[in-house]
Amino acid sequence: MSEMTVHTEHAENAGQTAGGEKKEKKKISLSFIQPSGAITLGNYLGALKNWVAIQDSGDFNCLYAVADLHALTVRQDPKGLRSQIYQGLAVLLGCGIDPEKSIVFQQSHVHQHAELAWILNCYTMFGELSRMTQFKDKSAKYADNINAGLFTYPALMAADILLYQTDYVPVGQDQKQHIEIARDIANRFNGIYGKTFTIPEPYITKSGARIMSLAEPTRKMSKSDTNKNAVITILDTDDEIVKKFKRAVTDSGSEIRMGEGKDGINNLICIYSAVTGKSTEEVEREFEGRGYGDFKLACGEVVADTVRPIREKVNEYMRNKDYLDEVCRKGAAMASRFAQRTLEKTYKKVGLVVPKSE
């Protein structure tokens, strides 16, 4: 499960003001980060930066989670996975997610995700799962470990979404299939038992930069790329970032201008634009008459300036795992209370006996 943001209406926010007027429902933003490798510049600019903006807008109640259960579809080194989970939490906080404003937790700490996933497994068709692109891709990549979890992970992803009665799911184009199957599962369940889940709508985000590989600019920058010079991570040092930009693939010519067939320079302009907030036209004017060498150095320096405070905060949080544990403990308790309402509603619909609270 890659980075994903979901927006939903939280019924608990509906009510009346002291004067009797009906309060407008406040949206909930729920976002997941995969604990697998260092977050790239593309992940930050395309997703995490937007998550912080959603939080700081004041228009949403926000929840952020590390999707540790999804990581288990690939065989993990236990010690390494624990480190990646902590790093995922540290990255969320280092990028600007504030546990005083938002709920931050580990997916596995909210047991309702796994419980609802089992029920949804029973309402998900074999043919639907076999058509999932990620299953096909990972089956080819990990041919010696084509496990049941890898096959049925869309039911867990659907549970992640449906637990919070999601209305809209802003995702990249490559994640649209996951929303479609969640819709199919929800529609099937609602058709049998009556309205239980809100049907989520995919919203393909147009904002947020699409950052490409520095070595192969026709491919998206990916944390799984084996060529480390192709990827900028938010844990890279200033020197590493500048060196990677100096080695970045460009095109014939030297003009700093967007153009057809100029994938390398187009990518660098997009990066510079996303980091500085300047338009493409402003970037072209700024570097008019200057060559690729100057522009690569400038890109490296502005990205290093952007990444540095994030890296420093992440490293600081990683030295204080007790604090990360406390953030997760409080966050999981709050998320669980909301998720439990949906789970109990689902239990009743299918005929299970809901445990009586003491």
| Residues catalogued as catalytic | 138, 220, 223
The alpha carbon torsion through 254, 256, 258, 260 (nearest 10 deg) reads 0
- What is the chain's length? 358
Per-residue burial over 249-282, b if 16 or more Cβ lie within 10 Å, else e, is bbeeeeebeeeeebbbbbbbbbbbbbbbebeeee
Whose CA is closest to 73, among 172, 175, 157, 160?
A: 157
H/E element holding 337? helix 321-350
Burial class (CB in 10 A: 0-12, 13-18, 19+), 238: middle
Handedness of CA 27, 112, 201, 73 (dihedral sign): positive
Maximum pairwise Cα distance, the chain: 75
Beta-strand pair 166-171/4-9: antiparallel
